[in-house]
Each structure stands twice: as structure tokens, then as C-alpha cells.
């Protein structure tokens, strides 16, 4: 129950987003009356009172699921434009099938469409195999040629039958009007075929898709599998045409699968996700086009799936571009902080830890930065509570930046010690255990010091039997040194 509530909330948010993004003028001028109208329409839609409404929503969700599943294979096999070509190539078949049955008889129409789709695919393979025409040109020729033929036939039939076949044009853009229960049967059948093929032949399809040569060598009927997959694709396209139309069925095949492929690379998960995304965008698209009369269903469904794609591309917590960008930013900030702290430690070390604080100029010399840049880095340290600026009591006025003295706080001292320890331990490890030359280890340690965890440090310490000196003869601060804190009574650190 909670889950379904959440789902509807998400749907409503996405819908609102789609409407606002799609129609800035009307959204901004929308009055209260319009809002109430929307609300009542939403209730009407979600209650599914109208039986024809039930059929429409059911049908759209089914083709979304169907195309999403099929699309998983199309996208992973890089056949996206092939799907587009196939969807245009079925048009003459629809016209012929229609004229043969003289009615909106599903079966002759579907047979005609499937056959003409096959003819198109066959001619493409002939053209690319036997002539010098490249794949993209061949697809373009078939796409536009079959399409022109289809347009000619449809217009001829419409004129000769005196306008009795007006709904043939629905196959160009799709339409939800007049969808009956009989129309759902082929979709259900296709869904059944697709699911059973994917369940029973999952291994075979996987191996033929990713490595046809290997599949052939283990004795799989690769040609037959490919053929049945494109037959299934043709059937899937044909059964979806009435709802979404020739031009945009490609969208429903590609976009959910592409969205899923952003998130997962595992085939079974990708198929499942892409089916679900297809169904969800079908549902939302159906809802939106119900809210506003005159909005064609196919384009709205396409836009919904495109919005879902964009949302996943930019906002997905693990792989989205914006979270990734934020993480990178945070990490580089952390590394900058740690590098400054490390420099602080080294400055202190140069003075043999005689004093608690040190002048800023030494630090900027160490970091090879200008005073201005250093100022920013020290500000960051102060903000994070790692260091303080020491004002000597003798001076009444605030000192010049170059005269400022810096002191590390206990937490700053701890982090600085850890980083130095990580760096030097790693250098020692590389020289002792991996036989690196001592002058080759610095760059590697420079990277790993920020990433290495406490557990690995314990291991390193055990392997190197708690060393005190690094390869360059400098002291490696131990846990005891860190715990003792920085105060000149404790230093210089005890020599081993």
C-alpha cells in the first residue's frame, strides 16, 4: 500500500514536471479553476471507472512493457536504427493488409505488416551483402522507400474508398481513441512470446548477442535465433503501432532500454528495469494525454520516457552526473585539505617540532603557492577546525598575511599525522616489499595516501613490523605519537 502510494506520488510529480516543462505558458497562467479540473480529472483517471479507459491504460502499459523488454535486446545489440527502419518498413504492409480485409481486421493487417517488415530487412541484407552500399545508406533507402510506398498506398486507398479508411492515418502517429479489447489480444500474445523467449532462451540469446562466433562454435543455431528475434521485434512493433504510431515506436523501444543501460550492465536486470520503465512511462504518458485533450498520446509517452531518461542520467544517486560531480568535487576538496595539512606537518618537522606555530610564508613556500592561494587554503583549514591563526599578544593590529602564524588544532594534527604516516608507510612498503628504488616511490605514495584505509595501515604496519623510519630516513608518526598530540614537551619525537 505504501509502495503504491509512493508510486502515485512519483507519477504525479513527474507528470507535473512534464507539463510545466512542456508548456510554460499555460502552467503559469493556470488558475484555481483549472487546478480543480485537473484534480478531478486525476481522480477520474486513477479510479479507472470507465471501462474503455481501463482498456486504454492496460494496453499502453502492456506495450510499454513489451517494447521495453524487446528494446533491451535492441540497444545492447546496437540495432537501434534497425528498429527504426523496421518500424517504417511495415507501412506498405499495413495498407495492403487493410485493403485485403476491407475492415480493421487485426490479423490480415498484422500479417501484411510483418511480411513487409521482413521484406525490408531482407532487402537491407541483400543490399549490404551483394552491393557496395553501406549499412546506413541501405537502411535509409529502405526506410524512406518503403515509407513512400506506404504513404502512396494509404492515400490511394483512402481516396478510392471515399474516406472510409480515415483511421489508417492513425498508424502514423498512433491514437488511443477506439482501442477495443480485441486490439489487446495481439499485444498480450506478443508479450507472452517475448517473455517466454527471454525466460527459456535467455542463455542462448545472451551468447548469440555478445559473441556470435562463440555461439556458433558451441553449436547454437545462431541464424535461427537471430531470425526469430527479428520476427519477434517485427511482431512487437506491429502490435504497438496502433497505439503509438510508426515514427515513435522506436522511441519506446530505445529510450527505456537506454535508461536502464545507464544504471545496470547485467542483462537480466537491464531487461526487467527497461520493461518496468517502459510500462511506467506508458502509464504516465497516458495520464498526461488524458489530462489535456488534443495532446497526442505517442509523443507524450515518448517525452515521459525521455524525462525519465534525463532524470536517471543526471540524478541517479550512484551513477547520475550531478551526484558524481558533487562526489568528485568533495573528494578533490578533501585532497586539497589533506595536502595543506601535510605541508603543515612538514613545516613543523623542518623546525624539529620546536614550536607549536609557524609563519604562513613557510607554508606557501612549501606548497609552492602564492600568498593569495595560500590564504584560501588556510581559510578552508580554519573553517574545518584543523588550524587556527595565531595572533601574538604584542601586536594590536591584525598582522599582514605574510606575518600570520598558523597553529594546528588537535584534530588537524591528527589528520596531518595520519596522511604523513600513510605516505611514508607506503613508501617503505614499496621499497621493502615491492623492490622499488627509493627515489621512485614518492608519486605513487602521493596518490594512495588519501585513499588508504586504517585496516590496510594496520596490515602494512604488521608486515613491516611497526617501522619508525621511512626510506628517506624520516620519522613515521605512530599511533602513540598521534594520540599524544602536538606540544613541544613531547617533541622531538623519540628516536628508535
Partner 1 sequence: MKQVEEFLIGPWASPELFSWNLQVFIMGCLVCICCALIGTFVCLRRMALLGDAISHGILPGIVLAYIFTGSLSLLPMWTGACLAGLACGVSIQWLHTQTPLKEDAAMGLTFTAFFAAGMVLLGLNAENIHLDTACILYGEIGLIPLEPDWVILGTNLGNQSLWSMGLICFFTLLCTLVFYKFLLVTSFDLSLAKSLGIPVNIVQYGLMLLLALVVVASFEAVGVILVLAMMILPPTSMSFLCDRLPMVLWYCLPLSMLYSLGGIYLAYGLNFPISASIALTAVVIFVPCCLLGPKGGVFSGIVQSKIGKNMGR
Question: The C-alpha cell of 147 is what?
Answer: 515509407
Pair 116, 146: CB distance under 8 Å:
yes
What are residue 492's phi and psi, to 5 degrees? Answer: -65, 150
Q: Which residues make Cβ contacts (< 8 Å) with residue 281, sequence separation at least 6?
A: 64, 252, 255, 256, 301, 304, 305, 308
**Span of 167-175, 325-333, 440-448, 471-479 interacting with partner 1 by CB under 8 A:** 167-175
Near partner 1 in 258-287, by CB under 8 A:
258, 261-262
CA distance 310 to 217: 41
**Partners of 406 in the β-ladder:** 358, 389
User: Pick from 52, 125, 137, 494: which binds partner 1 (CB under 8 A)?
Assistant: 137
User: Pick from 54, 160, 487, 494: which binds partner 1 (CB under 8 A)?
Assistant: 160
Near partner 1 in 231-260, by CB under 8 A:
247-248, 250-251, 253-255, 257-258
The nearer residue to partner 1, 130 or 462, going by C-beta atoms, is: 130
In angstroms, what is the minimal distance from the CB of 106 to partner 1? 23
In angstroms, what is the minimal distance from the CB of 251 to partner 1? 3
Q: Does 119 bind partner 1 (CB under 8 A)?
A: no
CA distance 176 to 59: 9
Pair 225, 204: CB distance under 8 Å:
yes
DSSP class per residue in 105-146: -HHHHHHHHHHHHHHHHHHHHHHHHHSS--HHHHHHHHHHHH
Q: Does 311 bind partner 1 (CB under 8 A)?
A: no
CA distance 251 to 303: 9
In angstroms, what is the minimal distance from the CB of 127 to partner 1? 8
**Span of 132-140, 204-212, 227-235, 487-495 interacting with partner 1 by CB under 8 A:** 132-140
User: Pick from 22, 30, 212, 399: which binds partner 1 (CB under 8 A)?
Assistant: 22
Pair 74, 80: CB distance under 8 Å:
yes
User: Pick from 68, 186, 298, 412: which binds partner 1 (CB under 8 A)?
Assistant: 298
**How many residues interact with partner 1 (rule CB under 8 A)?**
60
User: Pick from 300, 348, 416, 430: which binds partner 1 (CB under 8 A)?
Assistant: 300
Near partner 1 in 59-78, by CB under 8 A:
75, 78
Near partner 1 in 312-341, by CB under 8 A:
313
Closest CA to 87 of 225, 193, 205, 235: 235
In angstroms, what is the minimal distance from the CB of 152 to partner 1? 4
From residue 19, alpha-carbon distances to 177, 292, 385 in Å are 21, 10, 47
User: Pick from 54, 102, 131, 202: which binds partner 1 (CB under 8 A)?
Assistant: 131
Helix axes 371-383, 360-367, angle to 10 degrees: 110
DSSP class per residue in 192-232: HHHHHHHHHTHHHHHHHHH-HHHHHHTT--HHHHHHHHHHH
Name the residues that contact partner 1, by CB under 8 A.
22-23, 26, 75, 78-81, 83-84, 88, 127, 130-134, 136-137, 139-141, 143-145, 147-149, 151-152, 155-156, 159-160, 169, 172-173, 247-248, 250-251, 253-255, 257-258, 261-262, 292, 294-296, 298-300, 302-303, 306, 309, 313
Amino acid at each position: 500500500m505504501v509502495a503504491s502510494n509512493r508510486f502515485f506520488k512519483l507519477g504525479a510529480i513527474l507528470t507535473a514536471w512534464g507539463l510545466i516543462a512542456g508548456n510554460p505558458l499555460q502552467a503559469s497562467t493556470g488558475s484555481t479553476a483549472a487546478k480543480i479540473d485537473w484534480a478531478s480529472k486525476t481522480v477520474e483517471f486513477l479510479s479507472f471507472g470507465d471501462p474503455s479507459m481501463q482498456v486504454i491504460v492496460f494496453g499502453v502499459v502492456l506495450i510499454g512493457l513489451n517494447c521495453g523488454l524487446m528494446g533491451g535486446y535492441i540497444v545492447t545489440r546496437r540495432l537501434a536504427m534497425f528498429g527504426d527502419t523496421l518500424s517504417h518498413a511495415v507501412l506498405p504492409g499495413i495498407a495492403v493488409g487493410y485493403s485485403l480485409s476491407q475492415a480493421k481486421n487485426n490479423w490480415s493487417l498484422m500479417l501484411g505488416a510483418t511480411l513487409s517488415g521482413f521484406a525490408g530487412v531482407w532487402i537491407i541484407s541483400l543490399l549490404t551483402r551483394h552491393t557496395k552500399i553501406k549499412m546506413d545508406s541501405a537502411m535509409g533507402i529502405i526506410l524512406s522507400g518503403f515509407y513512400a510506398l506506404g504513404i502512396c498506398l494509404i492515400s490511394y486507398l483512402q481516396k478510392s474508398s471515399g474516406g472510409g479508411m480515415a483511421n489508417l492515418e492513425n498508424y502514423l502517429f498512433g491514437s488511443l481513441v477506439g482501442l477495443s479489447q480485441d486490439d489487446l489480444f495481439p499485444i498480450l500474445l506478443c508479450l507472452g512470446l517475448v517473455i517466454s523467449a527471454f525466460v527459456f532462451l535467455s542463455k542462448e540469446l545472451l551468447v548469440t548477442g555478445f559473441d556470435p562466433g562463440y555461439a556458433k562454435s558451441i553449436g547454437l543455431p545462431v541464424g535461427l535465433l537471430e531470425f526469430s528475434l527479428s520476427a519477434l521485434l517485427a511482431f512487437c512493433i506491429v502490435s504497438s503501432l496502433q497505439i503509438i504510431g510508426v515514427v515513435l515506436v522506436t522511441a519506446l523501444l530505445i529510450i527505456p532500454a537506454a535508461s536502464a543501460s545507464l544504471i545496470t550492465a547485467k542483462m537480466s536486470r537491464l531487461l526487467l528495469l527497461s520493461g518496468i520503465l517502459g510500462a511506467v512511462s506508458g502509464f504516465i504518458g497516458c495520464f498526461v494525454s488524458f489530462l489535456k485533450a488534443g495532446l497526442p498520446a505517442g509523443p507524450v509517452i515518448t517525452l515521459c520516457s525521455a524525462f525519465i531518461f534525463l532524470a536517471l542520467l543526471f540524478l541517479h544517486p550512484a551513477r547520475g552526473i550531478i551526484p558524481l560531480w558533487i562526489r568528485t568535487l568533495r573528494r578533490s576538496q578533501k585532497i586539497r585539505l589533506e595536502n595543506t595539512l601535510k605541508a603543515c606537518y612538514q613545516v613543523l618537522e623542518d623546525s624539529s617540532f620546536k614550536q607549536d606555530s609557524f609563519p604562513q610564508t613557510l607554508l606557501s613556500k612549501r606548497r609552492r603557492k602564492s600568498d593569495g592561494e595560500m590564504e584560501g587554503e588556510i581559510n578552508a583549514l580554519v573553517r574545518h577546525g584543523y588550524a587556527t591563526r595565531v595572533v601574538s599578544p604584542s601586536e594590536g593590529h591584525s598582522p599582514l598575511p605574510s606575518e600570520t602564524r598558523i597553529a594546528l588544532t588537535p584534530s588537524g594534527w591528527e589528520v596531518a599525522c595520519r596522511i604523513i604516516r600513510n605516505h611514508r608507510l607506503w613508501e617503505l612498503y614499496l621499497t621493502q616489499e615491492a623492490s622499488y628504488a627509493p627515489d621512485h616511490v614518492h608519486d605513487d605514495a602521493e596518490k594512495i595516501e588519501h585513499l588508504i584505509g586504517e585496516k590496510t595501515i594496520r596490515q602494512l604496519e604488521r608486515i613491516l613490523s611497526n617501522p619508525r623510519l621511512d626510506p628517506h630516513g624520516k620519522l613515521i608518526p605512530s599511533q602513540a605519537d598521534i594520540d599524544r598530540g602536538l606540544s613541544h614537551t613531547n617533541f622531538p619525537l623519540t628516536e628508535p
